[in-house]
Amino acid sequence: MLIRIVVHGYTLLLRLYPRRFRAEFADEMQAVFTEALMEAAARGGLGVFFLRELRDAPQSIARAYWHGWTKKWQEGAKLIREAASAADLPPPPPDGRESWRQVGLELSLFLIAGLLLILVTYLPLAGLSAGWQRNLGILGRVVVPLTLPIFLIGLARGLPRWAYPSGGLLLSYYVFTANQSGVLPFLAAMLLASAILAVMALVTNTQLSPLPTPVRRIGQSLSLDWTRLSFGIYGAVPLAIIFAFDDALTNNRTPYLAISVLSMVACALIYCRSRASTLQIVALLGGMSLSIWAAMLDKASFAGGLAGWIAAPYPGAADIAWMLKLWIPWVALILAPALLTMAGRAVRPGRVV
């Protein structure tokens, strides 16, 4: 009687497993359990055996669900790869590693933005009001006309590498605008929900048609080199320089903003010509860091040039904390594509046990 109750309890326990898992393994698991139960009953260890099975059941059920979800995502990812396959597309256009002409295109945004920053700083316009660095409306009149046409042309041409900085600068500007308006959390939540729903729709669709050629060309560009996403984020360095120097005391007399601009352009050039991903990321991190932290040198230099420190004290903990608050998110965003790529490589078909 007790054995029958235990077998019935195990049958109920099997219902907690995923449906596909039960359909494939339930009969085999029931047979193995019944055989082991009989052996335990013969030894007089029926209670210990059943308690051990109950103890191990949660881990086994969780592993079964994880295996099912992972298999489903792998099948969906395979369908997406097939729909986005670039096998029948022409070879992608060269980038700055093969062509100096492409280097010029990839550096164009940084050269234009750097020139504008230098002109506005050292030869300020008469009609430019003080505090323009914190006025996103004024910045938008320059950022949007400068970046939107380039980015749209880049999208139409399959998103070559020279279009990424414009997209990064444009996106960063709108993120800061949304944050200033207080709607960034709402937009982030909506974007995340939309992305999850889109991915789930693609993964659960068993018959995906090939994506349009322009979309597959964009996917081809993204798959060529994950550092392109980091390069796109690096395109927002002009904004980072503006925010870092927004409370500088004498911008038109300091050489440090010019040093920031030169660092931005020089490190972008190193990235464009480098072939090793590690060197590319080091160049982007170096350019971002030098561009931002030069503002701290500006404050220290100005304070050191005065007779007293009361009017302009040396940068303290608050200044350093503010600079870290500006610097750390940019570094994290530049490194994010690398971390996502490593995470994607860690989950591969055949690695789930």
- At 261-312, the pLDDT tens digits run 999 999 999 999 999 989 999 999 999 999 988 888 877 765 554 444 444 4
Closest CA to 242 of 335, 127, 145, 113: 113
Q: Where are the domains of the chain?
A: 2-83, 100-346
Q: Quick check: 8 pLDDT over 90?
A: no
Q: Quick check: 189 pLDDT over 60?
A: yes
Locate tokens 């986005």: which residue? 84
pLDDT over 70 for what percent of the chain? Answer: 82
Angstrom distance (rounded) from CA 284 to CA 277: 11
In terms of phi and psi (left: phi > 0; alpha: psi -120 to 50; beta: otherwise), the region of 159 is left
Question: 331 or 127: which carries more pLDDT confidence?
Answer: 331
Question: For the range 136-141, what are the long-range contacts, defined as Cβ-Cβ under 8 Å and sequence gap of 24 or more?
Answer: 136/173, 136/176, 136/177, 136/180, 139/173, 139/239, 139/242, 140/173, 140/177
- At 236-255, the pLDDT tens digits run 999 999 888 875 545 556 78
Q: Is the full-model pTM beyond 0.75?
A: no
- At 226-239, the pLDDT tens digits run 899 999 999 999 99
Locate tokens 């235990």: which residue? 6
17-31, 87-101, 259-273: which has the highest mean pLDDT? 259-273
CA angle (218, 219, 221) in 5-degree steps: 65
Q: What is the pLDDT of residue 129?
A: 63
Per-residue confidence band for 109, with pLDDT thresholds at 50, 70 and 90: very high
Comparing 2-11, 158-167, 319-328, which segment has the lowest mean pLDDT?
A: 2-11
Contact 305, 197 (CB under 8 A): no
Q: How many CA atoms lie within 13 A of 57 on its CB side?
A: 18
pLDDT, average across residues 65-88 = 74
Q: What is the pLDDT of residue 309?
A: 45
Q: What is the pLDDT of residue 246?
A: 73
Q: CB atoms < 10 A from the CB of 269, how many?
A: 17
At residue 124, the 3 state secondary structure works out as coil
